[in-house]
Chains A and B, each alone.
Chain A
Amino acid sequence: GAVVSQHPSRVICKSGTSVKIECRSLDFQATTMFWYRQFPKKSLMLMATSNEGSKATYEQGVEKDKFLINHASLTLSTLTVTSAHPEDSSFYICSARSGIEQFFGPGTRLTVL
């Protein structure tokens, strides 16, 4: 099946720093990738849709200047959490679309101290 990787799997950073998370589709090309976040015991919430070669589309309430998304190739999308604060601590998960199916990465646990 289709494989999506994320890196890093876990990151701890100080408040005010920026963190970049990579999402790669390993065995297929994805013109569209998605970024979700998940709080403990809650479901996944869509943050933004990442389109290769164009600007990302953000969901209502998600600050585009805070969560920078770049989809520079058909196999790579990156999410940069800028000036991270403790409230940004969460589990960030990406997915890549293949047809109407979506394949998810293993997630990145971000902890901001």
Chain B
Amino acid sequence: SQKIEQNSEALNIQEGKTATLTCNYTNYSPAYLQWYRQDPGRGPVFLLLIRENEKEKRKERLKVTFDTTLKQSLFHITASQPADSATYLCALPANSGYALNFGKGTSLLVTP
């Protein structure tokens, strides 16, 4: 069966450091992968989409890599700030249409 694993439930880092979150998947051949941010009691907010033919994508302090051989995506937040504290979700397209399957998420806490 298809699985999406975000292998760190929680990650605590100090302000200013780089946070690196991991998403591994099995039994998928995704055309793209997405990362979302979710704050408590709120819906997910789209951050980045990376396609299978792209190795890396950047947006401001965010960087995503996509290794289809390793079946892994890494999500980096550089110069992290306490405001970056949230749960980050990795999502892959479901078999049917454009629906998404989500990982359980990694809760990031950035302390001053």
| Nearest-Cβ distance from residue A57 to partner chain B, whole angstroms | 7
Q: Give chain B residues whose Cβ lies under 8 Å from the Cβ of A106.
A: 42-43
Q: Give chain A residues whose Cβ lies under 8 Å from the Cβ of B99.
A: 34, 46, 49
Is there a chain A Cβ closer than 8 Å to B49's Cβ? yes
Q: Give chain B residues whose Cβ lies under 8 Å from the Cβ of A95.
A: 43, 100
Is there a chain B Cβ closer than 8 Å to A93's Cβ? yes
Docked complex Cα distance between A43 and B102 (Å): 6
* Contact A32 B97, beta carbon cutoff 8 Å: yes
Task: Knowing A43-B102, A44-B102, A100-B49, say if A49 contacts B96 (CB, 8 Å).
Answer: yes
Identify the closest chain B residue to A42 (Cβ).
Answer: B104
Is there a chain B Cβ closer than 8 Å to A7's Cβ? no
A73-111 Cβ-contact flags toward B at 8 Å (1 or 0)? 000000000000000000101010100111111110100
Docked complex Cα distance between A43 and B90 (Å): 10
Is there a chain A Cβ closer than 8 Å to B11's Cβ? no
Is there a chain A Cβ closer than 8 Å to B32's Cβ? yes
Task: Knowing A34-B99, A43-B105, A57-B96, say if A93 contacts B44 (CB, 8 Å).
Answer: yes
Docked complex Cα distance between A109 and B100 (Å): 21
Docked complex Cα distance between A93 and B99 (Å): 13
Residue in A46, A97, A100, A101 whose CB lies within 8 Å of B94: A46
Residue in A49, A100, A104 whose CB lies within 8 Å of B44: A104
Residue in B43, B46, B93 whose CB lies within 8 Å of A93: B43
Docked complex Cα distance between A97 and B91 (Å): 14
Docked complex Cα distance between A91 and B38 (Å): 13
Docked complex Cα distance between A8 and B36 (Å): 23
A1-30 Cβ-contact flags toward B at 8 Å (1 or 0)? 100101000000000000000000000000
Residues on A lying within 8 angstroms of B by beta carbon are: 1, 4, 6, 32, 34, 42-44, 46, 49, 57, 91, 93, 95, 97, 100-107, 109
Q: List 10 extra interface pairs beyond A95-B43, A101-B34, A105-B43, CB under 8 A.
A: A1-B46, A42-B104, A43-B103, A49-B96, A57-B97, A91-B41, A100-B98, A101-B46, A102-B100, A106-B43
